[in-house]
Structure 1
């Protein structure tokens, strides 16, 4: 980026911050994209004249609403719900619903903005959106979760539809919550239609939807390594998180010969040097999904070491998979990974690497780094496939869905290589993903004229 482009970036980000004061997560997501797109469009005046990037950063609409529900003691509870409909230039809005105390408008805007590029990369006709609430399902009874989901959907139903906006699950929203919300939508609309993805197989879900994000993260790093004649087999892998993305990422790594030595939660991480097995992962899934326990309990059951209030990035590894939350890899963590000889990072969480850490990583040509918008697109890809199955009233086999997922991730990798390669054949996967995702959406927006 030359001096003139740096000035353009500073002016652009100044405008974004003025229009969106205090929304630091959103600012970070936009800056991560703009630092690649502004140099790319420097010699393409039509994008600048039509203010394409400025229009992409402004959501089509944001819906905010009150959610009132009753807990088991009879007390009235009040939460806030959101749906950010960011951009539908290439298809209906598509993106998850998150139930977590940390949900704010800024967090959902960052996720919706990222979703636009992620969905574009899949080559499926999907726009980008995101929604959620500051409701915390942890510690709530099934009946309390049901009442909340029904109250949430009673308002959200006014703004979604199979050709308008198709939400899915996210943090705090699994098959239980999706089932409650779909049931309420069906009751209100008096129609059975594919308005939510992540449904159970019994009422229109897709096989491997739960596994898809974690599997895609591994398929992405497999494609990156194949480009250099390498493989996952025999490599030590560090995974953060212990939810669906982390555990299914670990499962697929084990299937492909990797040795997974860590998992984590918000309280700390476990280190199991001999490598986790499928039996270990099944135990962790039961711990987290049914018993709502802490990862520390693993060491009491199977051994290994537990490290409280720490992240796993100091453990020596060949491959790293941040699958927990945003900004979990700091610049110091990045230096540790590089010094320990890490070969590749594939992001399972959304925006898990801080801007400072990205700069450190970009200074190391040896370390391959797949951004979340490319690496964790497997979830929305299979959601798109679920929409196709719903429209056709079909249900594909596990093998067929998995084959389609692998093809989609391979296509994402190829796009990153096409737009992210330099004269020395080095691939900047962040740049490649940002430009490839931008191109498709920008072309559609220009075709519609000024709107």
Structure 2
């Protein structure tokens, strides 16, 4: 059987046994097809049935979460933890609380996490979890009760050498605190079982900033490879969570000018540059809509989602040099890619997980636009989570500067690994292929070493 036929067979099988999981199929198609050069060169992965094995999570946990709202009514949500692969270390991956969460979303994120974690060079396996619970509009007490109910089931399946969750969309410092407090109450153990903790009880400097900072560091490495830099570049950023906020902050430090941000209700375009302090106050402190930003900065333009064509993102219509999709999956489509190319964009760097649709990626590649894939470009968050685990294990506390230096080096290593792997397999500069092959090879070789488990 040819490699292509084998891949097609595996993809048909996962669609048959995992119906309705479109995001998981999308991630699987991208990874498996990019592995063709490796699979044609080395038949060990066929002999050991690695493709079939790596597509199936080691463990999938689905549970009910019942909690009391402020009116004394019992509410019910779904909870998930997909422990995908532990070949190179204990499971590691965030928790996402968002109404869009379902098993397919969690499987896609967990599958991507396998290779992202492998690329960091650190010993961590891939997992993801979450719930269809929406923290927006909920009181602090409701969020606390939900987190406690969620952890009352999850705690049975995690541990510092077993599975170490972190935050993701909808799970920030507040939620991490409530989750950890319940874990400690249930187990009686104060241990590094969750990352993203507050600094005064075991957290790491730079963790909140890490994914955004790391994304910018990755973009910096791409541009340097082609004798360019971020100085003076106009940058568009989507999102207004941790990733977007700290991408914007680090872009300023690099001399770039970030001019957009967005949330679920609309997009801000501020030609002179996004005011980071205002953005932090609105999103991190007051948890408000970006409509407020336009009120504070009347020289900015706010475009509600309802005023824009369905499926399009206003940020990608703004002329830019570098685009940083940093919100959610499939937010940059083919029409967006066409506009970016027409406007002279030279690099699309993914701060979110799989934010660019396959046809958009193909169009960008066809027009020689530099591209930083999410599993490499946004790996700074999980890398710093592992640094937090290291600090917890040794009861140490590294300074902001120490962690930032380590993060910058990790992102440089990830870029060099992806680039050199692309060169090795005859597609120099194709970081999607390079990142996928490098991450897969490390995990697959470890699976072969450990036998049929």
Alignment correspondent of 2:278: 283
Q: In structure 1, which of residues 301, 313, 338 is the aligned counterpart of residue 341 of structure 2?
A: 338
Q: How does 1:12-411 map to 2 (within 5 A)?
A: 12-276=10-274, 280-302=275-297, 303-309=299-305, 310=308, 311=313, 312-365=315-368, 367-411=369-413
1:14-43 deviation line (CA, Å, top 9, x unaligned) = 112112111101000111101111332123
In the alignment, is the contact (CA less than 8 A) between 2:294 and 2:302 conserved in 1?
A: yes
1:399-450 deviation line (CA, Å, top 9, x unaligned) = 1000000010000000111111379884001001000101110111000111
Unaligned stretches of 5+ in structure 1? Answer: none
In the alignment, is the contact (CA less than 8 A) between 1:263 and 1:269 conserved in 2?
A: yes
1:356-400 deviation line (CA, Å, top 9, x unaligned) = 1111112122x1101110000000000000000000000000010
Offset at 1:7? 3.6
After the TM superposition, which of the residue ranges 68-77 and 112-121 deviates more from structure 2? 68-77
Offset at 1:6? 4.0
1:238-283 deviation line (CA, Å, top 9, x unaligned) = 001111100100000011100111111122211111122xxx2121
* Matched residue SS, 1:384: helix
Provide the C-alpha distance between the structure 1 equivalents of 2:286 and 2:33, rounded to a whole number of angstroms. Answer: 43
When residues 4 and 46 of structure 1 are mapped into structure 2, their CA distance, relative to the original with a 3 A threshold, is closer
* Matched residue SS, 1:257: coil
In the alignment, is the contact (CA less than 8 A) between 2:10 and 2:51 conserved in 1?
A: no
After the TM superposition, which of the residue ranges 281-290 and 68-77 deviates more from structure 2? 281-290
In the alignment, is the contact (CA less than 8 A) between 1:243 and 1:285 conserved in 2?
A: no
Provide the C-alpha distance between the structure 2 equivalents of 1:242 and 1:206, rounded to a whole number of angstroms. Answer: 22
Provide the C-alpha distance between the structure 2 equivalents of 1:182 and 1:424, rounded to a whole number of angstroms. Answer: 47
Q: What do you get for the CA RMSD once the two structures are aligned?
A: 1.4
Provide the C-alpha distance between the structure 2 equivalents of 1:447 and 1:403, rounded to a whole number of angstroms. Answer: 33
* Matched residue SS, 2:40: coil
Provide the C-alpha distance between the structure 2 equivalents of 1:156 and 1:224, rounded to a whole number of angstroms. Answer: 39
Provide the C-alpha distance between the structure 2 equivalents of 1:272 and 1:68, rounded to a whole number of angstroms. Answer: 43
In the alignment, is the contact (CA less than 8 A) between 1:67 and 1:148 conserved in 2?
A: yes
Q: In structure 1, which of residues 443, 446, 449 is the aligned counterpart of residue 448 of structure 2?
A: 446
When residues 38 and 15 of structure 1 are mapped into structure 2, their CA distance, relative to the original with a 3 A threshold, is farther
1:46-69 deviation line (CA, Å, top 9, x unaligned) = 101211122111000111111111
* Matched residue SS, 1:294: coil
1:158-212 deviation line (CA, Å, top 9, x unaligned) = 0000000000011110111111111111111111110000000111000010000
Provide the C-alpha distance between the structure 2 equivalents of 1:157 and 1:422, rounded to a whole number of angstroms. Answer: 43
* Matched residue SS, 2:113: helix
Provide the C-alpha distance between the structure 2 equivalents of 1:423 and 1:101, rounded to a whole number of angstroms. Answer: 41
Provide the C-alpha distance between the structure 2 equivalents of 1:299 and 1:161, rounded to a whole number of angstroms. Answer: 44
Alignment correspondent of 1:435: 437
Provide the C-alpha distance between the structure 2 equivalents of 1:427 and 1:346, rounded to a whole number of angstroms. Answer: 14
Provide the C-alpha distance between the structure 1 equivalents of 2:182 and 2:426, rounded to a whole number of angstroms. Answer: 55
Provide the C-alpha distance between the structure 2 equivalents of 1:204 and 1:272, rounded to a whole number of angstroms. Answer: 37
Provide the C-alpha distance between the structure 1 equivalents of 2:422 and 2:184, rounded to a whole number of angstroms. Answer: 44
Provide the C-alpha distance between the structure 2 equivalents of 1:335 and 1:259, rounded to a whole number of angstroms. Answer: 22
After the TM superposition, which of the residue ranges 263-272 and 193-202 deviates more from structure 2? 263-272
* Matched residue SS, 2:100: coil
Provide the C-alpha distance between the structure 1 equivalents of 2:418 and 2:292, rounded to a whole number of angstroms. Answer: 40
When residues 317 and 425 of structure 1 are mapped into structure 2, their CA distance, relative to the original with a 3 A threshold, is same
Provide the C-alpha distance between the structure 1 equivalents of 2:127 and 2:427, rounded to a whole number of angstroms. Answer: 34
After the TM superposition, which of the residue ranges 299-308 and 229-238 deviates more from structure 2? 299-308
Corresponding position: 1:417 with 2:398: no
